[in-house]
Amino acid sequence: MTARRVDYNISGTFMTKKKVGFMVAALCLISVVMIVCSKNTADTLNLSSLQRESGEYVYPGVEWLMSINELEENLGYTFDNPEFGSEQEPFDYRTNTNYEFAIFSPKEQDKYVKLFDNYGQISYQLELGELKSVQLTFKNNVDKMKNNKLEDLATKTRDELIKLYGENFILKDSSADDKSPIDVITYTWEHIADDNSVTRIFLSVIPSTENTNTVSLGVSYFINKN
């Protein structure tokens, strides 16, 4: 008679090799599900996190003038190849910072951010190798954004920004300009620091013929040289 090998667990009961294999497979499946779910979970933006105690506007998790390598290290993800200006030739952006600007987007699983139950795609704009702008773009035509309610998002975001940062914003409506190729309504909040650095929050709404087509929310940085 051939003896059957058994494995004992800590509590003193025993399991056959078949049961052990089943448990290992189940644990692996749970791990895979957890990984997939974590990649499919978008970060949620709290609009109050866009300003520091100093009054400076900045996107949470980053510092102005960061390099692309510093951004990846700080954020914990890598970027796809950047989009360049129309007059720029592609180049190795990790070793060359002598470019006018480039827009970087995270890889697929990290590119969405959630705001008021709407999903937007995040992008980072660098100039001469330094972070100058972070922008969220909300549409309702692709992937997770198909169920976005853009008119509701635009209203809620505008009202919350006014509540947080006041009514002293700059309003620009290009629909009054006959030369403008598209109609854009933009709300801008601005902070000027003692070193003449200027940071802004901007909310742009692009309406279509019947309803809102695109909502953009972003923060930017520049030096006022005047």
pTM: 0.78
* 52-76: average pLDDT: 95
Residue 84: strand, helix, or coil: strand
What pLDDT, on a 0 to 100 scale, did the predictor assign at position 5? Answer: 46
- For the record, the structure tokens of 42 come out as 């978008």
The CA-based angle 173-179-182, given to 5 degrees, is 55
pLDDT: which is higher, 50 or 180: 50
How would you classify the pairing of strands 112-115 and 43-44?
parallel
Query: Which of these ranges, 68-77, 151-160, 167-176, 198-207, has the smallest mean pLDDT?
Result: 167-176
Q: Report how far Cα 173 is from the mean position of its chain's Cα atoms.
A: 26
**Domain residue spans of the chain:** 7-39, 43-223
**Is pLDDT of 157 > 60?**
yes
- Burial letters 43-58, b for 16+ CB under 10 A, else e: eebebeebbeeeebbb
Residue 70: strand, helix, or coil: helix
Question: Residue 198 class from Cβ within 10 Å (0-12 exposed, 13-18 middle, 19+ buried)?
Answer: middle
What pLDDT, on a 0 to 100 scale, did the predictor assign at position 30? Answer: 42
